[in-house]
Amino acid sequence: MKMKLTEEVWKEGNMYVSYCPELDIASCGETVEQARRNLREAILINMEETKKMGTFDQFLEEAGFHREHDGILSVRKELVGFRPIEIAV
């Protein structure tokens, strides 16, 4: 089984933060690659734990996932753009 997820990475101080908005899971690292690896590990640990507790399907449903025809899990919305904007306040 595969999942389509979004990964956001940004620099915060001297660390890099990685975040998956679909699952609301974050991690960090001293490099971009380390932050990305740590996020994948955090996601896998979360999946393993929900499977052990018997709440995996409920977790996926609450996160808005559905199975596509090829067995891939994806959310009902897809990120199509991301850019900073400025608004006067």
> Per residue in 40-80, pLDDT tens?
999 999 999 999 999 988 888 888 887 777 777 877 666 67
Residues spanned by the domain of 64: 2-75
Two structure tokens written together for 52: 């052990």
Is 81 part of any domain?
no
Is 80 part of any domain?
no
Two structure tokens written together for 66: 């559905």
Is 61 part of any domain?
yes
Is 13 part of any domain?
yes
Domain CATH code at residue 52: 3.30.160
Is 83 part of any domain?
no
Its pTM surpasses 0.85: no
Phi-psi region of 44 (alpha: psi -120 to 50; beta: other; left: phi over 0): alpha
Is 44 part of any domain?
yes
> Per residue in 53-63, pLDDT tens?
999 888 888 88
Q: Give the chain's domain count.
A: 1
